[in-house]
Chain A
Amino acid sequence: MSQIQIQETRALDARGLLCPMPVIRTAKAMKELAPGEVLKLTATDRGSIADIPAWAESTGNELIEWHEEGEAIVFFLRKSSEEA
């Protein structure tokens, strides 16, 4: 399967963290990015597959893409240009 090449601004390793810490760490990391910058999140909590898209939608940030890499789930999120 071909994958889109996305250049992240910052990477967050949330492997091993349990619900709801991946979402909380993501929210904290995104606050430190400028609008338009991209966070690469790597998690192993299967709940993240539902949680991260829901979080992105409720906060107005963009989930560009996600995929699985073995046990891990990799998300690319773009910080919203809107101020929360």
Chain B
Amino acid sequence: MADQEKLVVMVTHGPDEPELATIPFAMAGAAVASDVDVVMGFQGNGCLLVKKGVAETVRAPEFAPLGELMSTIHELGGTFLVCSPCVKSRGLSEDDLVEGAEIVAAARFVAEVTSATTSLVY
């Protein structure tokens, strides 16, 4: 087998755009299923998807439910990183976020992207 590959998926769309919010989770889900190391980064309204209870409310036609995808990605070892200023500006704290979500700043995102095999931005 080749060395472990790493995919970074940046999410910038929130629950008001279910399809664009769900597609990055579908990609990340397929990646963890393919033994790819996955980091998901949430910026802008994407942060709202990792607020507790929100993912379960998002459904895009013909895609698996976002809540199921999120819990599966977490279970299979995916990492969720959330933009610090984006969280603060929306009045959220770490306690408001789903289990496993970590609040980080720009330099961490840069480190993840520059060390990844590939990055996708949605």
Contact = CB atoms under 8 A, between A and B. Distances in A.
Interface of A: 17-21, 23-24, 26-28, 51, 55, 58-60, 82-84
Interface in B62-104: 62-64, 68-69, 72, 76
A17 to B, nearest CB: 7
A20 B1 contact: no
B30 interface: yes
Interface size class of B (residues with CB under 8 A): 10 to 19
Interface of B: 1, 26-27, 29-30, 32-35, 62-64, 68-69, 72, 76
A84 B62 contact: no
20 contacts: A17-B64, A18-B63, A19-B64, A20-B29, A20-B30, A20-B33, A20-B69, A21-B64, A21-B68, A21-B69, A23-B34, A24-B29, A24-B72, A26-B33, A27-B34, A27-B76, A51-B30, A59-B34, A82-B1, A84-B35
